[in-house]
DNA sequence: AGCCGATATGTTATTTAGTTACATGACCCT
DNA sequence: AGGGTCATGTAACTAAATAACATATCGGCT
C-alpha cells in the first residue's frame, strides 16, 4: 500500500513518499514555521508516532529545496517560491511579533559572500542568512 | 569574595562576573566553537554544575558582543575581533572539516540586507549570516 | 550602620530537539 | 526466488534549552 498517493493532486514533486507528503502538507498549511515536534503533534492522527519519522522526511524535503530549515529557530518552513531551487541561496526575514517568515533571494549578497570565500580560500556549500525583527504590520502596531 | 577577579590581567571588559569570565576564558582558549554543555564540562572543576549557569553567562556575553552564537551549530565562539562591537553585523565561515570558524565583516552585505528590509517594511534587529563549507586547508587535503 | 531594589547565583526538575540502533517491509532488478 | 536499496516503525537515548524557586551580593540611599 506504500506509495499509495498516486491519485493525489498536489503541485509539488510527484514522487514524494507518504510521510514526506504529510510533512510537507503540514508545513504548507501553516502560516508560521513549525518545529519537528510541532509537525509530529499534527500528524499523530495520521499514524506518525516518532520524531525520527518527521526528521527523515524533513531531511529529504530540505535536500530537494521543498522545505527550508530556519537555523535560528530550530524550525522549518515550506518553500514559498517554486523557483528557489533554481536560484541559489535564500534569505529569510523572521518576524518576532507574529512569527511569519518571508523568503527572499538576494543575488548580490550571495555573490559578495562568494567573493569573500574565494579570497579566503573557503569553499562554501551552504549559506544561512536570517534576519530577525518585526514585519511591517507588527512594527507599526508595536512602535517601541 | 565575589568579583574577586580584580587582580586579573585580561584585556576584556573588566566588569565581568566570575562565571562570565570563566565562560569567556573557556571560549577564548578553544580553537573551535563550543556548545554550552562543552563549556560546562570544562568548568566542572571550577565549581560550575548546571547548564543554566553557562547559559546565563553566555547571554550576557553575547549581548555585549564578547561572544557570538552560531545558530547553525548550536554553539558559541569568543569574538575574534575587538572592534566588532563597533561594526554592525558579522558573518561566519564555519569549516565542516576542522571545525574552525572565521569571523568577517561584510558591510556591503549588511547594507544590502538593510536595503531589502526598508523596501519590505521590515525592521531588523539581528542578522545571522553563516557559511558552511571547507576552509583552505581542509579543502586542499580533501579534494572530493 | 540598616534597608531596599536590582542583579547574579545555585540547584532541581522539566521540556524541547535531535540521534543511535535495530528490525521490518516495499520496490526493483536479474 | 534472491539480493540490493530505500522507506518505515519503534524504543531508548543524548543533547540543548528553559522553568521555577531559593539564596546571595552589590549599589545606592537615609
**Interchain proximity B91–A126, CB inside 8 Å:** no
**Which residues in A lie closer than 8 A to residue B110 (C-beta atoms)?**
none
Question: In terms of Cα–Cα distance, which of B90, B88, B101 is closest to B134?
Answer: B101
3-class SS at B47?
Answer: coil
Chain B residue with Cα closest to A119: B136
Q: How confident is the model at residue A8 (pLDDT cuts 50, 70, 90)?
A: very low
The Å distance, CA of A57 to C1' of D10, is 17
Average pLDDT over residues B103-112: 95
The pLDDT score that the predictor gives to residue A141 is 87
Core vs surface per residue B116-129: b (16+ CB within 10 A) or e: bbeeeebbbeebbb
3-class SS at B58?
Answer: helix
The pLDDT score that the predictor gives to residue B36 is 98
Residue nearest to nucleotide C16 (CA to C1'): A37
Cell triple for B38? 562543552
pTM of the model as a whole: 0.90
**Interchain proximity B131–A123, CB inside 8 Å:** no
The Å distance, CA of A2 to C1' of C10, is 54
**Which residues in B lie closer than 8 A to residue A136 (C-beta atoms)?**
120-122
Cβ contacts from A onto B, under 8 A? 121
Element of type H or E holding A129? strand A123-134
Question: How buried is residue A84: exposed, middle or buried, by Cβ count under 10 Å (0-12/13-18/19+)?
Answer: middle
d(CA A122, CA A136): 36
A133 close to B (CB below 8 A) = yes
Question: In terms of Cα–Cα distance, which of B123, B103, B105 is closest to B114?
Answer: B123
Question: In terms of Cα–Cα distance, which of A3, A122, A84 is closest to B106?
Answer: A122
Question: Across chain B, what does the average pLDDT equal?
Answer: 89
**Which residues in B lie closer than 8 A to residue A134 (C-beta atoms)?**
122-123, 125
Q: How confident is the model at residue A13 (pLDDT cuts 50, 70, 90)?
A: low
Q: How confident is the model at residue B118 (pLDDT cuts 50, 70, 90)?
A: very high
Question: In terms of Cα–Cα distance, which of A5, A78, A113 is closest to B94?
Answer: A113
Question: How buried is residue B27: exposed, middle or buried, by Cβ count under 10 Å (0-12/13-18/19+)?
Answer: buried
- Cβ(B62)–Cβ(B49) below 8 Å: no
**Interchain proximity B117–A71, CB inside 8 Å:** no
3-class SS at B82?
Answer: coil
The Å distance, CA of A15 to C1' of D1, is 29
For helices B18-28 and B51-63, angle between their N-to-C axes, nearest 10 degrees: 80
A7 min Cα distance to partner chain B (Å): 38
Note the pLDDT tens digit of each residue in A54-104: 999 999 999 999 999 999 999 999 998 776 765 678 999 999 999 999 999
Percent of chain B at pLDDT above 90?
Answer: 80
The pLDDT score that the predictor gives to residue A50 is 97
- Cβ(A5)–Cβ(A14) below 8 Å: no
A133 min Cα distance to partner chain B (Å): 4
Q: How confident is the model at residue B7 (pLDDT cuts 50, 70, 90)?
A: very low
**Which residues in A lie closer than 8 A to residue B113 (C-beta atoms)?**
91, 106, 109, 129, 131
- Cβ(B80)–Cβ(B103) below 8 Å: yes
**For chain A, how are helix, strand and coil distributed in percent, rounded to 5?**
40, 20, 40
**Interchain proximity A135–B125, CB inside 8 Å:** no
Number of neighbouring beta carbons within 10 Å of residue B112: 18
A109 close to B (CB below 8 A) = yes
Note the pLDDT tens digit of each residue in A93-129: 999 999 999 999 999 999 999 999 999 999 999 999 9
Amino acid at each position: 500500500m506504500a506509495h499509495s498517493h498516486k491519485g493525489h493532486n498536489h503541485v509539488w514533486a510527484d514522487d514524494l513518499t507518504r510521510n514526506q507528503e504529510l510533512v510537507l502538507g503540514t508545513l504548507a498549511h501553516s502560516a508560521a514555521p513549525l518545529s519537528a515536534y510541532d509537525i509530529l503533534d499534527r500528524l499523530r492522527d495520521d499514524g506518525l508516532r516518532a520524531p525520527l519519522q518527521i526528521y527523515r522526511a524533513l531531511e529529504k524535503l530540505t535536500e530537494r529545496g521543498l522545505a527550508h530549515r530556519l537555523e535560528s529557530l530550530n524550525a522549518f518552513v515550506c518553500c514559498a517560491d517554486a523557483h528557489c531551487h533554481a536560484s541559489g541561496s535564500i534569505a529569510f526575514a523572521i518576524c518576532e511579533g507574529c512569527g511569519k517568515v518571508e523568503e527572499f533571494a538576494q543575488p548580490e549578497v550571495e555573490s559578495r559572500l562568494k567573493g569573500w570565500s574565494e579570497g579566503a580560500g573557503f569553499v562554501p556549500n551552504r549559506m544561512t542568512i536570517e534576519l530577525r525583527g518585526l514585519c511591517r504590520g507588527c512594527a507599526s502596531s508595536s512602535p517601541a
